[in-house]
Structure 1
């Protein structure tokens, strides 16, 4: 349970927010908007669509190919043969022609099947890669969202420090005019007030930049502002072994690499099939305008096979290249699984430490407030010094900011845990 002082500060922050917007924006709202409007994800979605169209291209190998060619030829003189002294033309000088052919692969030893399977695996890998990139964007949104919440509280703390330093300067001014303290105390109070105002300006600027970044991630106008709803602080986590098993099943990047390896295996089978012939059937209709012959249109049907006998060892090199690419992706997969484990362990450690920091900071705030009260009283009673008051106020500001920073780090670490297991 939060201490009364912390609750008071948060209440002031909420009042500050309510003045800028009439409705609350939740983290879920921001993630939904990012999924739809983020410019980076919009660009990446085309990669997924391109990979999907490649499946249609590969599947076309199962369907017949239909070609039509037509034209008109004008010659200087028709072709002729010599049977007598006078040549006999065998064609017209100018003629039209047309060709319609239907080509169908009958059997290619699995080449088309391997090519289609490769395209399907590549398409599924692209889908998983998009999900991984989407979760990276979501993590950026979480950082920006909680960065705004923390920034708002930093601003409230800065405002409180300015108020306290303004009061201290007034006290120092009155005591100086009464001849109780030297002008050094007054100058010190004035300098500290100026410093507090600068920190307040820096906090306001940082908050403004956080809003600009969140609006960029969610596709909002740069001037958009809203009240943000602060989610619950607690996050439940399982043991590392169980969470790692979840990550291996759900992490999009791991799934994408596994699909890529399957696509590489299909590519190997495709290149291996190039050593074998292709059986095909062909239907054709050829028309050649020629009034010197009886048949101007010829229909034909062909069943045959074709095979490459030598291509400069290009097929062998392509197959070896595909094998090396598969080995490379397998190494990347092992490295990614190790990286995910490291990412998960780091996030869990940061989550645990941030939780402990929250508890420590709550106590420190109460102690810092009491320390400031005592030093203010001592200064008024001419027992303490102005330096003691300023140091006490600086310490209070720092402990409050440490508390808000620990909350920010806790929420971001919780999001990083979810990202590590692929559930953000």
Structure 2
């Protein structure tokens, strides 16, 4: 066990030296790497592009629909009649027809326009969802960064404590050899040393896990991490933070967009009960063999149609849309409360972490004075080995608490920023090429086909590696 700890601690020290020789990595660097590395962001960007295409699909319903058709038929006939003296005759003919059919909706009482509006609102809601995912990715990166620092400092603290305990054990052994203490004092020192070795092994394991989480989130193993110098700016008060969150949080904006979509869907369901007027045209050519009868034809018609009875389907669709609208309103109400709750919780976590850090610093100062005093008294025989070990443990606990409190303070501050809806690369002003959600939308919103715009879109998709 001791050999494994020495070997692991040595390897850890070597890695720290190598990391120190490499370029330092700040929290901003880690956030940039997480933003560019995240597969979750890529996934939701693709979902946003899919939502953009819904607008193009809805726009296409306002345009003429042109289809071609071709048919080939072979007809066999056998006949007899009085005129032919009931003599059976056989005949065959082949018919070929090619046609173009065009249809354009003229009047639908706004159904297609409502579909376009609903698709646009859905796009805006999906954009807000992408911002929410961005916040999740960045917050996870903050936690990974700070947890690596926490565990690395804990390992260094445990290593230093282990060195001190080894000195205490040697001192106890020397005092036992000259008869100043009993075997019990030596055993206490050895027991505390074994416990410290176990805790160091646990800290090394926790650091390895934190490094793996960091690599998964950021995209590369942690190097020499530089602790942030200051906390991010949030709000002057808890009420101000809640007001900002209700106004700007992407979950709130998405819920509001969903309510608008649900209201538009009610109007769309009502429009289905009204008639539709469309213009249809057809041109083509046909030929029959063996008579070689060829002809060209064309037709144009104005058609109107509307529902009479569909078994109660249309009223059910209207009621369903109204129920979905009520559900989205309820969801918006719940999101508002959840956002305010998250802000209040994060605000309290920041306050608790700050108070804990201040208390830990005071505890460290007092515990250091106590430890030094007990150790000097032990040299004079006024204190036992157990007193020295207990005082040292108190100092170690205070230092560990201060490390955790400092890390928790940063994590809580960025959690508060996320709860307010401000943990984005734009708000943090990170040096990274931001994803523009409107770029793809602007290319597809008018439903381009085989045009220059369509060719440009193909090049964009190829650059994204999606084709």
Question: TM-score by structure 2 length?
Answer: 0.82
Paired position in structure 1 for 2:443: none
CA offset digits 1:174-221 (Å, max 9, x no partner): 11111221111111111111111111111111111111111111233x
Paired position in structure 2 for 1:227: 224
Is the contact between residue 68 and residue 98 of structure 2 (CA under 8 Å) also seen in structure 1?
A: yes
Seen in structure 2, the aligned counterparts of structure 1 residues 243 and 30 have a Cα distance that, compared at 3 Å, is: same
Is the contact between residue 290 and residue 296 of structure 1 (CA under 8 Å) also seen in structure 2?
A: no
Seen in structure 2, the aligned counterparts of structure 1 residues 284 and 172 have a Cα distance that, compared at 3 Å, is: same
Structure 1, unpaired ranges of 5+: 1-12
User: What is the distance in 2 between the residues matched to 1:350 and 1:182?
Assistant: 48
Is the contact between residue 161 and residue 196 of structure 1 (CA under 8 Å) also seen in structure 2?
A: yes
| Aligned-pair Cα RMSD in Å | 2.5
Is the contact between residue 149 and residue 225 of structure 2 (CA under 8 Å) also seen in structure 1?
A: yes
Seen in structure 2, the aligned counterparts of structure 1 residues 70 and 188 have a Cα distance that, compared at 3 Å, is: same
Paired position in structure 2 for 1:266: 264
Is the contact between residue 192 and residue 390 of structure 1 (CA under 8 Å) also seen in structure 2?
A: yes
1:405 aligns with 2:441: no
Is the contact between residue 72 and residue 97 of structure 2 (CA under 8 Å) also seen in structure 1?
A: yes
Total equivalences in the alignment: 408
Alpha-carbon distance, 1:112 to partner: 0.3
User: What is the distance in 2 between the residues matched to 1:81 and 1:141?
Assistant: 89
Match of 2:254 among 232, 253, 256: 256
DSSP-derived class of the 2:417 partner: helix
Paired position in structure 1 for 2:34: 34
DSSP-derived class of the 1:383 partner: coil
Higher alpha-carbon deviation: 262-271 or 240-249: 240-249
Structure 2, unpaired ranges of 5+: 1-11, 424-467
Is the contact between residue 38 and residue 216 of structure 1 (CA under 8 Å) also seen in structure 2?
A: no
1:177-256 maps to which residues of 2 (within 5 A)? 177-220=177-220, 224-236=221-233, 237-256=235-254
Higher alpha-carbon deviation: 148-157 or 27-36: 27-36
DSSP-derived class of the 1:284 partner: strand
Paired position in structure 1 for 2:341: 342
Seen in structure 2, the aligned counterparts of structure 1 residues 79 and 372 have a Cα distance that, compared at 3 Å, is: farther
Seen in structure 2, the aligned counterparts of structure 1 residues 300 and 78 have a Cα distance that, compared at 3 Å, is: farther
Alpha-carbon distance, 1:87 to partner: 10
Is the contact between residue 357 and residue 406 of structure 1 (CA under 8 Å) also seen in structure 2?
A: yes
Seen in structure 2, the aligned counterparts of structure 1 residues 235 and 357 have a Cα distance that, compared at 3 Å, is: farther
Paired position in structure 2 for 1:329: 328
CA offset digits 1:315-372 (Å, max 9, x no partner): 2111111111111111111111111111111111221222122222112111111111
DSSP-derived class of the 2:288 partner: coil
Question: TM-score by structure 1 length?
Answer: 0.90
1:139 aligns with 2:139: yes
